[in-house]
Amino acid sequence: MGKIVAVTGNEAVAEALRQINPDVCAAYPITPQTDMMQRFSSFVSDGKVDTELILVESEHSAMSACIGASAGGGRVATATSGPGLALMWEMLYVASGMRLPIVMPVVNRSLSAPLNIHGDHSDAMGARDSGWIQLWSENAQEAYDNTIQAFRIGEHMEIRLPVMVCLDGFIISHSIERMEYLDDNVVKAFVGEYKSLNPLLDIENPKSYGPLILPDLYMEYKRAQHEVMTKVKDVVLNVADDFEKLSKRKYGLFETYRLDDADIAIVILNSAAGTAKDVIDQFRAKGIKAGLLKPRLFRPFPYEEVADAIKNVKALCVMDRADSFGAYGPLFIELCGVALHLQERPLMINKIYGLGGRDFMPEHAELVLNELVEISKTGKVKTFKEYIGVRE
């Protein structure tokens, strides 16, 4: 079972989409996603999928077409990056507001200006409040696995929400890694037949999608979106259990690395977690109790579970590959929410790193861990928010 391959992140996600064989996909080129849907287009041209592909004229139309297609009553996917996600912004809210289980890999990229095409989380962080479920992926394997699980999560009859699968632009999308593909039949059986809910194409039972809702009811709709988000964690965990049975790979709401007895810890998303884990091993070798937490489910955010995982940590650095100018980084702000659930909270600092594809090097993680050692000794934080790896 399964097959060990050496592939890029884009290739891996395109392969997942081939195995899932959605009814309709929309595609529009944008670096660094382009090559993912390009590969998928070859599957369409070569008859390896039954998917009807819509090669739209913009990302706004890509998401609009996905909305029309998903409302129609079938399985739908698209993919994008950075400015493409920004152009979709209006339609992201429509997709989640209509409760359409569209799956969208987001190959994370920075936002202009200045123009930059490289890895950065500003795109998906900008979309965090759009009502989409967000799964984040450290490497090609996780991007592939998350894409497969995303369909089960979003299409779950008690959920029916769109899902973003985030992976780092270039660092993951364009680097070749060793990973395992599941067999086609295993993926197909795992994902299952698409179950439609109120399909627009049911001519006998006409439905109206997208009404005008005035202040008398609008808030109830929005509250319902919050309510459904509270059920997502359980579904994510159940789907992960099922997935583990066939893949032997374990997924949760987040990953912890040597965190159980850690005094100091880093909270970090996606590919940079891999670099940080190596440095944590070095610190552990020196006898320093360092650990790491890597969120996987960012929306909805598992506050209580993260709080429980970090409750014994003395000093914590939350690392953001996105900024909220004039405020703390978006991940740090979430950890402030986590702190509300702790009687005794760790001392916390926020580092902004890796914007626009700036390399995150082991020495950056080292710098951070050394500072955490200092903070845990002195009990004092010098600066709450700082940029690392930046020219002064």
Partner 1 sequence: MTTPLRLKELSKKEDRFTHGHRMCSGCGAPIIVKMVLLASEYPVVACSSTGCLEVSSCISLLTAWKIPWIHSAFENAAATIAGTETMYRALKKQGKIDKEIKFITFCGDGGTYDIGFQSLSGAMERGHDMLYICYDNGAYMNTGIQRSSATPFGADTTTNPAGSKIPGKLQKRKDLTKIMAAHNIPYVAQASPAHWQDLIKKVRKAFEIKGPKFMNVIAPCNRGWRSRTDDAIALCRLAVDTCYWPLYEVENGVTKITFKPKEKKPIVEFLKPQGRFKHLFKPENEWMLKKIQEDIDHEWELLQKCSVVEEKAKAEEK
Residue 77 sits in the site that holds partner 1 (CB under 8 A): no
Residue 65 sits in the site that holds partner 1 (CB under 8 A): yes
Nearer to partner 1, 216 or 392 (CB): 216
Distance CA 306, CA 73 (A): 36
State which of residues 13, 37, 44, 69 lies at the interface with partner 1 (CB under 8 A).
Answer: 69
For residue 260, the tally of other CB atoms under 10 A from its CB is 10
Residues 24-43 close enough to bind partner 1 by CB under 8 A: 24, 26
Residues 201-230 close enough to bind partner 1 by CB under 8 A: 201-203, 206-214, 216-217
Q: Which stretch binds partner 1 (CB under 8 A): 23-31, 180-188, 286-294, 379-387?
A: 23-31
Q: Which stretch binds partner 1 (CB under 8 A): 50-58, 171-179, 315-323, 350-358?
A: 50-58
- CA–chain centroid gap for 359, Å, is 20
State which of residues 19, 31, 34, 64 lies at the interface with partner 1 (CB under 8 A).
Answer: 64
Nearer to partner 1, 67 or 262 (CB): 67
Distance CA 119, CA 226 (A): 30
Please check whether residue 121 is in contact with residue 166, taking contact to mean a CB–CB distance below 8 angstroms: yes
Instruction: Kindly list the distances between the CA atom of residue 340 and the CA atoms of 210, 299, 311, 337, 382, in Å, as whole numbers in the listed order.
Output: 37, 18, 11, 5, 22
Instruction: Kindly list the distances between the CA atom of residue 335 and the CA atoms of 64, 193, 262, in Å, as whole numbers in the listed order.
Output: 34, 38, 17
Per-residue contact track with partner 1, 93 to 112, x per CB under 8 A? -x---x--------------
* The amino acid at 136: W
Find the shortest distance in angstroms from Cβ 302 to partner 1: 31
Instruction: Kindly list the distances between the CA atom of residue 278 and the CA atoms of 239, 258, 272, 289, 315, in Å, as whole numbers in the listed order.
Output: 29, 11, 10, 14, 19
Dihedral over Cα of 71, 29, 109, 36: its sign: positive
Find the shortest distance in angstroms from Cβ 154 to partner 1: 16
Distance CA 171, CA 178 (A): 14
Say which residues have a Cβ less than 8 Å from residue 257's Cβ, sequence separation at least 6. Answer: 273, 277, 280, 291, 292, 293, 294
Beta bridge partners of 320: 352
Find the shortest distance in angstroms from Cβ 174 to partner 1: 28
Nearer to partner 1, 212 or 285 (CB): 212
- CA–chain centroid gap for 345, Å, is 26
- Please tell me whether residue 315 adopts helix, strand or coil conformation: strand
Residue 71 sits in the site that holds partner 1 (CB under 8 A): yes
Find the shortest distance in angstroms from Cβ 75 to partner 1: 9
Q: Which stretch binds partner 1 (CB under 8 A): 65-73, 111-119, 127-135, 261-269?
A: 65-73
How many amino acids of this chain bind partner 1 (CB under 8 A)? Answer: 45
Nearer to partner 1, 7 or 20 (CB): 20
State which of residues 52, 278, 304, 359 lies at the interface with partner 1 (CB under 8 A).
Answer: 52
Find the shortest distance in angstroms from Cβ 73 to partner 1: 7
Distance CA 172, CA 377 (A): 36
Find the shortest distance in angstroms from Cβ 100 to partner 1: 10
Residue 113 sits in the site that holds partner 1 (CB under 8 A): no
Residues 124-163 close enough to bind partner 1 by CB under 8 A: none
82-97 and 59-72 helices cross at what angle (nearest 10)?
30
Nearer to partner 1, 205 or 230 (CB): 205
Instruction: Kindly list the distances between the CA atom of residue 257 and the CA atoms of 267, 300, 341, in Å, as whole numbers in the listed order.
Output: 10, 21, 21
Find the shortest distance in angstroms from Cβ 16 to partner 1: 19
- Residue with structure tokens 């020219």? 391
Find the shortest distance in angstroms from Cβ 92 to partner 1: 11
Nearer to partner 1, 162 or 329 (CB): 162
- Tokens coding 309: 């995982």
- Residues contributing to the site for partner 1 (CB under 8 A): 23-24, 26, 50-52, 54-58, 60-62, 64-74, 76, 90-91, 94, 98, 200-203, 206-214, 216-217
